[in-house]
Amino acid sequence: MSQFSLLGKHAVVTGGCSGIGNSIARTFVENKAYVHILDLDENQGQSVIESLGSDKASFHFCDVSDQAKVHNVFQSIAKDHPVDILVNNAGIANIGKVENTTEDDLDRVYAVNVKGVYNCLHACISIMKSNGGGVILNMASIAASAGLPDRFAYSMSKGAVVSMTLSVAQDYLADNIRCNSISPARIHTPFVDGFISKNYPGKEKEMFEELSKTQPIGRMGKPQEVASLALLLCSDEAAFITGVDYPIDGGFTTLNA
């Protein structure tokens, strides 16, 4: 068996239709896992499954903020397969300081970024316990630990993700369940391109360069770079790693002083 192989593993990846989640799903399939993608975009989901191969992945329509629906999906998967790996990647962003973050904004971010992670953990852990263990990877952000401007609700939500990671890692050591998180800085995804186009029309190139330079390394990260770290942390090579948040940020949190 090659290093970092996920042969025989069944992985659930939320928000796996685009961006980082899609890169993680593809990387896991390339390394022999069977991947269950949970997402709200059915059309994109079917397209992704076709590109991955229906014998290697499946799509499950799921709103992670709805606990009953999340439990139904996980139970449906668990009827036929173990859940060896859970990647809590689904998330949404929000721009604003505390004074211009509305209650609706906060509730919307909380429902997906915090409650959505909790719902998947709540549905999955009992399955993993009955199967003798598993690996959980939560997608946090450097916003959890760095003071980013205009990211009040988003930073709050990602701080909660890191806290949940530590709690789960501590509580399920005896059940052979590992739990870690990844905290990316700015990663070049379609979301970033859309954000720039919406907020800086006509200045897309200049803003892309400006945002890229906020990372000391001089560029944005690539989704595949995050996916490669996810592969390591979910593989048996990382069997001694749990309860850790990994920044992948081009030096942002340590070299920007």
Q: Where are the domains of the chain?
A: 10-185+222-247, 188-220
Structure confidence at residue 92 (pLDDT): 94
Neighbouring C-alpha atoms within 13 Å toward the C-beta of 236: 10
Lowest mean pLDDT of 44-48, 90-94, 195-199, name the range.
195-199
- What is the average pLDDT across 42-53? 96
**Could you give the CA distance from residue 98 to residue 92 in angstroms, rounded to a whole number?**
17
Segment 123-139 shows an average pLDDT of 98
How far are the Cα atoms of 78, 82, 123, 166, 203 from residue 12, in angstroms, in the given order? Answer: 11, 10, 12, 20, 38
Rounded to an integer, what distance in angstroms lies between the CA atom of residue 225 and that of residue 249?
A: 10
Between the alpha carbon of residue 198 and those of residues 9, 203, 226, the distances in Å are: 40, 10, 25
- Residue 191's pLDDT is 82
Given a cut of 80, is residue 168 above it in pLDDT? Answer: yes
| The pLDDT of residue 195 | 80
Which percentage of the chain shows pLDDT scores above 90?
92
Residue 131 reports pLDDT greater than 90: yes
Mean pLDDT of 27-35: 98
Is 10-185+222-247 a CATH 3.40.50.720 domain? Answer: yes
How much is the pLDDT for 1? 53
The whole-model pTM stands at: 0.96
Torsion over CA: 100, 106, 112, 117 (sign): positive
- Mean pLDDT value across residues 17-38: 97
pLDDT of residue 187: 96
Nearest alpha carbon to residue 119 among 175, 66, 167, 181 = 66
* Amino acid 257: pLDDT: 56
Residue 85 reports pLDDT greater than 70: yes
Give the confidence band of 192 by pLDDT, cuts at 50, 70, 90.
confident
pLDDT at 199: 80
Question: In the predicted model, is pLDDT for residue 255 greater than 70?
Answer: yes
Output the pLDDT for position 198: 84
Q: What pLDDT does 78 receive?
A: 98
Query: Is 224 exposed, middle or buried (CB count within 10 Å of its CB: 0-12, 13-18, 19+)?
Result: middle
* Residues annotated catalytic, as ranges: 154
- 18: tokens are 């685009």
Asked whether the predicted pLDDT for residue 190 surpasses 90, the reply is no
Confidence class for position 164, pLDDT limits 50, 70, 90:
very high
The amino acid present at 202, given as its one-letter code, is G
The mean predicted confidence, pLDDT, of the chain is 96
Q: What angle do CA 232, 12, 221 make, to 5 degrees?
A: 45
